[in-house]
Structure 1
């Protein structure tokens, strides 16, 4: 079941979140327009569909809460940063 989770992160941590969340990105052409920001669609590391709406001051995640929590608790694979979101 998909959940709708609103959150906010600084740009650097948001970059790590996106890297931890998506294993594959897909074109969002068939998705609803989001005039206030960026839409990222794809498959998570667990293979589930997810969508991330990135606005100026906040983000909305649409997908599995397990995938959201895994991305928030992830670490940078290169160990150059620690997300710890």
Structure 2
């Protein structure tokens, strides 16, 4: 368990919500302001969302590397947060 208290575990859900709202889940990254667009393109939610969207719309994933990159980014984020929270 990474969080030492119930309140501490709530921080992780806020971080995930921020990543979802700053990804391509609700709007294409091309329509975002420059700074937000850059952040949205490099954060881990965007490649996962784009891959799932492509899979559902066309039946194929455009690039399997994007899913691996997104999952590995999440692993590194959680490892970093667990080191900070201890």
In the superposition, the TM-score normalised over structure 2's length comes to: 0.27
Per residue, is there more strand in 1 or in 2?
1
Higher relative contact order (CA 8 A, sep 6+): 1
The structure where helix makes up a greater share of residues is 2
What is the TM-score normalised by the length of structure 1? 0.27
Greater Rg by CA: 2
